[in-house]
Structure 1
Amino acid sequence: MTSENYVRLRQICLAAANIGEAEGALTDILGLEVCHRSQLDQFGLENIMYAINGSFLEVVAPTRDNTAVDRFLARNQGRGGYMAIFDSANVARHKALAEASGVAPIFERYDDRADLLQLNPKATGATMLEFDHHKGGDDMMAKYHWAGEGWQEYVNTDVTGEITGIEIAGPETAARAKLWAQICDRPVSQENGVAQITLDYGRLRFVHNPGEKQDLFTAIDLTAKDPTAMRARAKKAGCTETERGFICYGVEFRPVRAD
């Protein structure tokens, strides 16, 4: 049953310089086909999306110079995830919570399909946060307008199972966890000394790393039918291996075996 005030980690957005190269690599690594692609001239970007069970992985690439994505890639030198997108029951509620915490919107849109709120990443830190509500989309396998019609046909859990969470790492993660918890209206808990926020779907982890100059969105937790095979495909695609997974488009993918 869906909570009346649900907040779900629904979509992760990564940034790439070349959308074609990103599609070639991720299609092979994830064992999935792109469920939706579009050109967003307003923001000077193009994107592709993968349906990972009821959540989504998006990759954006700039189509002209001096756009937000272009500046992000230059500023971070390819490190860190670009956006964390939350599906919520009431966007206005999260806007009020954000503003009460001193975080202002940088873009918002409300229409008969969906409500959308993007928060100033300079205030949220680590990555841009977006809160959406999709009309007719309370069920995670129902409407999700950013992915187009028929996205459910692209769901295939034979290789990639689901996204279970993300990790933020840096020197100010205690403050970051407190702020994000206030905006999400969920408590901060501790697990083995690591702050975390558990949502109705997905978990946010905040790892203190004083060696970083700033907090960054550093990792994606996901399940896979065969994590070893996924890591091998990532290595073949040119991704850097890590102890727990591989680096791909600025973040560490950490696949574990699906139950």
Structure 2
Amino acid sequence: MTFRLRQIAVAVTDLEGALADAEAIFGASHPYEDSGVARYKLRNAVYRFGDTFLELLTPVAGDTTVGRLLARQEGDCGYMVILQTDRIEEARSRVAKAGIRVVDQLDRNGCGFTHLHPRDVGGTLLSIDYMSRWTQWEWGGPGWESHAAPACSIVAAEMHGPEPELMARRWSAVLGLPCSEHEGGWRIALDGGELLFLSDSERRGEGLRALAVLCAQPEAVLEQAAKRGRASPDGGIRLWGMTVRVLGPASKPPLHSAQTGE
């Protein structure tokens, strides 16, 4: 069974400001507004980053899950990690056997998702998605392949918590993938990416705290971030309540590569 990191969702209080940062810093364009999120009382914008996707979302009404999360975190924060699998029935069977609660599920036109309760999995809301073709991505909007995209892709998601090993082992059990110690934390390798689990140094509780983005021209991205006052002292970018680590082509790939058919 293969999993890859396909989309990251981030909750923001100011959607227009968040879009402006994504477009100015990364050169993102053609945001897709998915009307399907209206049933959650949300508005969103989805950007293509190569064949991965960044989703920025905000509540449009009171008493929403995202609104409560923003209140607890006192501002913008990571919301969801979306993985694509080539064997959805096997993945769902493993979720059921592990006793993980499913908070939402959809199947339509050869694609779908399963959202897992963050308290059962740990770290953040996890969605396991499938498409009829491996290269397809319904949530990117019609014709997303024809839209220009930044020469960047999302290659890692980083969850923080008071017990990173326990969190990593829960994800490992749910996904059926091994976890291992890695640079002071824990790691699960994906197809073309990775999940990292680190100690909660900011004492904010469990959460999606950082992303790694592989860019063809990292210096240009960091320069634009500095112009918008988003550069962080550690050489990354501070955006949407998260740290965005910018990797260049010469960076050691934090991943392994598996092959899968369509």
TM-score (norm 1): 0.89
Letter in 2 for 1:72: L
Give structure 2 stretches of 5+ with no counterpart: 251-262
Residue number in structure 2 paired with 1:246:
237
Residue number in structure 1 paired with 2:217:
226
Q: Which runs of 4+ in 1 moved over 3 A?
A: none
RMSD: 1.8
Contact 2:131 2:138 in 1 (8 A): yes
Matched, 1:48 2:24: no
* Partner of residue 74 from structure 2, selected from 67, 73, 77: 77
Following the alignment from structure 1 to structure 2, what is the Cα–Cα distance between the partners of residues 17 and 208? 26
Residue number in structure 2 paired with 1:133:
130
Q: Structure 1 residues 155, 101: closer, same or farther in 2, change over 3 A? A: farther
Matched, 1:115 2:106: no
Contact 1:9 1:199 in 2 (8 A): yes
Matched, 1:147 2:143: no
Residue number in structure 1 paired with 2:228:
237
Contact 2:156 2:213 in 1 (8 A): yes
Residue number in structure 2 paired with 1:18:
14
Following the alignment from structure 2 to structure 1, what is the Cα–Cα distance between the partners of residues 195 and 228? 28
Alignment of 1:157-172 (within 5 A): 157=150, 160-172=151-163
Following the alignment from structure 1 to structure 2, what is the Cα–Cα distance between the partners of residues 207 and 234? 25
SS state at 1:58 partner: strand
Residue number in structure 1 paired with 2:205:
214
Following the alignment from structure 2 to structure 1, what is the Cα–Cα distance between the partners of residues 81 and 235? 21
Count of aligned pairs between the two proteins: 249
Give structure 1 stretches of 5+ with no counterpart: none
Following the alignment from structure 2 to structure 1, what is the Cα–Cα distance between the partners of residues 208 and 185? 15
Residue number in structure 1 paired with 2:260:
none
Q: Structure 1 residues 76, 240: closer, same or farther in 2, change over 3 A? A: farther
Contact 2:73 2:204 in 1 (8 A): no
TM-score (norm 2): 0.88
Letter in 2 for 1:29: I
SS state at 2:188 partner: strand
Contact 2:152 2:213 in 1 (8 A): yes
Q: Structure 1 residues 21, 80: closer, same or farther in 2, change over 3 A? A: closer
